Amino acid sequence: MKINVLSINIGMPQEMPFQNKRIQTGINKNPVSGPVFVSHLHMEGDGQADLTVHGGVDKAVCVYCFDHYPYWEETLGQKLSAGAFGENLTISGATEEEIMIGDIYQMGEVVFQVSLPRQPCYKLSVKWDEPSLPVMIKETGYSGFYFRVLQEGVIKPGETLRLVKRHQDAISIAFANHIKYKDKQNEEGLLKLVQLNELAEAWKNGFQNRLEEMKKSDKMP
């Protein structure tokens, strides 16, 4: 399986106006024309403003599927260019349904592993002047996802993502989104996710907490 990479996008944090103040955000990414070094933490020349919720080894590279762009262009009423959702890699031909947590891909010298869905933040709504955009992303499941980097190296425009190894459990990004936002009391689904070693700890811990709350509720008279 090969996934087309339409663009590699980077950008450093910058100021944007928001509610009568100015905020720092790394949401604005632009395509590059040459090779980029990818480390365990980020792409060279790329950065995040709020490291409490962005970045880190489990969120080294953000990926979004161009297949969703027509839907968002109609919804937002404007033309979108590559990197519109703050993603580092704009891909085509593989949506959240086809991407499995723990899958391993290679692009150029770099080996990636799918780590978790992208959880939309308010800065997307600031960028596109649509306050409900994060909620719409959750409702549609058009979230994108993150890679952790297993092997550092250089990637170049025009290279593809090649599936090296599919995870044996085949739990999709779409499934994780469904359990997190819609089928919140699905015990079987929650158990699958907390037992998935390759899922980022932040999401596993959240699902584990939900299971524990469900058990407490069951014991209440």
Rounded to whole angstroms, the Cα distance separating 55 from 41 reads 7
Amino acid at 122: Y
Q: How far is 201 from 125, CA to CA, in rounded Å?
A: 26
Q: Find all residues with CB under 8 Å of 203, minimum gap 6, and list them.
A: 116, 117, 176, 180, 193
Answer yes or no: are the C-beta atoms of 177 and 117 closer than 8 Å.
yes
Cβ proximity of 103 and 163 under 8 Å:
yes
pTM (2 d.p.) = 0.92
Q: Which pLDDT value is given to residue 53?
A: 59
Q: What is the pLDDT of residue 94?
A: 96
**pLDDT at position 174, please?**
98
Q: What is the pLDDT along the chain (221 residues), one digit of tens a residue?
A: 889 999 999 998 777 776 777 877 778 899 999 999 999 999 999 877 565 556 689 999 999 999 999 999 999 999 999 999 999 999 999 999 999 999 999 999 999 999 999 999 888 888 888 999 999 999 999 999 999 999 999 999 999 999 999 999 999 999 999 999 999 999 999 999 999 999 999 999 999 999 999 988 876 55
The strand pairing partners of 155, in sequence order, are 36
pLDDT at site 1: 83
